[in-house]
Chains A and B, each alone.
Chain A
Amino acid sequence: RKEVEQDPGPFNVPEGATVAFNCTYSNSASQSFFWYRQDCRKEPKLLMSVYSSGNEDGRFTAQLNRASQYISLLIRDSKLSDSATYLCVVSYGQNFVFGPGTRLSVLP
């Protein structure tokens, strides 16, 4: 089993739709959790950290369930500019493990 797994995607959604990405991790010692966004031919950029109580940043909501070792990202009212690959990242100690990513295409 891979350390970090994500929905395989791709997700093709119309503008304005709500889309949710799921991520599971295998190491129960994982301490920090993040969602990164990677545009085509660009480096990954931090979208948001994920906190145990869940957190929201505008149209983006992240949830963490430590018991189930599960992380989610919800995007509301999706925009064309949200089209990218979304990477789930889990860290423990000095290790920083990337999921395979889920590609999102928001269609006009």
Chain B
Amino acid sequence: SAVISQKPSRDICQRGTSLTIQCQVDSQVTMMFWYRQQPGQSLTLIATANQGSEATYESGFVIDKFPISRPNLTFSTLTVSNMSPEDSSIYLCSAKPAMADYGYTFGSGTRLTVV
């Protein structure tokens, strides 16, 4: 399965600032996704990162707040913009392998704290 390098692993940010999270996959993948996991909760899909076109956002998430880039089939970024303490969470990227039977692989996550 694909291996995903995600960085930064953690950060503490001031409110009103922005943070960009990067994910690099060691092989080309068709689909990449960004999730948020709040403490004690399961994963919530933020958006699907589409290569060469705008990301597809889930209900409750908007491009102005969470701009996403996917310049090629191995790399994606998620920016958390104009942060507030409510954005404190773990952000995870994931990739869909070619074989449908295989589950998605996840990056190691970015633990964000907004103060």
Contacts and interface: CB of A to CB of B under 8 A. Distances in A.
Interface of A: 31-32, 34, 36, 41-46, 49, 87, 89, 94-96, 98-101
Given A87-B42, A98-B42, A34 B108 contact: no
Interface stretch (B13-21, B59-67, B72-80, B99-107): B99-107
Given A96-B45, A99-B42, A43 B106 contact: yes
B43 A98 contact: yes
B53 interface: no
Interface of B: 1, 31, 33, 41-43, 45, 48, 92, 94, 96, 100-109, 111
Contact of A46 (B33, B102, B109): B102
A79 B106 CA distance: 25
B31 A34 contact: no
A45 B41 CA distance: 16
Given A43-B107, A49-B101, A94 B48 contact: yes
A87 B35 CA distance: 14
Nearest to A103: B40
B106 A44 contact: yes
Contacts of B103: 34, 36, 46, 49, 89
| Most chain B C-beta atoms within 10 Å of own C-beta, residue among A31, A43, A45, A94 | A43
Nearest to A33: B103
23 contacts: A31-B100, A32-B101, A41-B111, A42-B108, A42-B109, A43-B92, A43-B107, A43-B109, A46-B1, A46-B103, A46-B104, A46-B105, A49-B101, A49-B102, A49-B103, A87-B43, A89-B103, A95-B45, A96-B33, A96-B45, A99-B42, A100-B41, A101-B42
